[in-house]
Structure 1
Amino acid sequence: MADVLKAGILYFLGVFTLGFILGAIRIFFLVPYTGPVFAVLVELPVILLVSWFFCRFLTRRFTVPTEPYERLLMGLIAFVCLMIGEALVAMFLQQGRMTDFFMTFDLPENRIGLAGQIAFALFPVLQSYADSKAGQ
C-alpha cells in the first residue's frame, strides 16, 4: 500500500510540474495566436503522452500490483492531489476563491483539460489491462 501511495504522489508531482511548464508556454505563446481551446488541444496530447510513459515507469519502479483496486487507488491519489494543486495555484495566481476555481469549468478549454486529467487518473488501470492482454 505504501508503494501505491508513493507512486501516486510521484505521478502527481511529475505530471503537475510538466503541466505547469506546458501551461505557461500555452498561455504566453499559444493562446495569443490560436485561442484557448486550440491551445489546450495542442498541449493535451503532449502531456498525456508523457503521463502515459511516466505512469508506466512508476508502476514498474514501485511494483504497483496489477489489481484494479491498487491501480485505481494510485490514479485517484494522483488525481486528487492534481485537483488540489491546480486549485491552490489558481487561487494563488488569480487571488480568487475556491468557488472561482470550480466556476472555470464552465469554459470549454477547462472541460477539455478536465477530460485529460480524468484520462491521466485512469492510466494506471488502463496500463494494467493492456499489460494483461499483451501477456496472454
Structure 2
Amino acid sequence: MMETWPWQALLGGMMLGGSAVLLLLFNGRVAGISGIVAGILRPQPGEFSWRLLFLIGMVCAGWIVPLLGFALPQSLPVSSLGLLAVAGLLVGMGTKLANGCTSGHGICGMGRFSKRSLVATLVFMATAFATVFVRVHG
C-alpha cells in the first residue's frame, strides 16, 4: 500500500476537485458539505433533491470503493462515545464560526483564491497539527 498511496491520493484529490467543478458548472453551487447538509435541514424550493443525492453518493462511495478493489483506510477505535459527541459538536461549532467546512474552504474556496478561505484553511490545518502533536506527545 505504501508504494501506491501517492497515486491514490492524487487520484482522490483529482476526483474531489473534478466533482467540485462539475457541481459548480452544472448547478452553480459550491461543494461545501456543511452548506449542503444545512440545505437539507432547511430546504429551499428546488434545492432538496440534488443535496440529498449528493450526500447519498458520498455515503454509497464508501461501499462501492472496496468493490472496485481499493482498500479503505483503517478507522481508529472510538474510546468514548461522549468524547466522540463532544468532538462532533466542536467541529460543528467551528464550521459555523468559519462560515464553512474544510471541503468548502479548502477545496472550493482555495480554488477560487478566496482570502477568507485561505485564512480558514490555515486555521483548520494549524488546529489539526496541534491536535496531532498533543495526541502524540501529550
TM-score, normalised by the number of residues in structure 1: 0.37
Q: Which has the higher contact order (CA 8 A, sep 6+)?
A: 1
Larger radius of gyration: 2
Larger relative helix fraction: 1
Structure 2 length as normaliser, TM-score?
Answer: 0.37
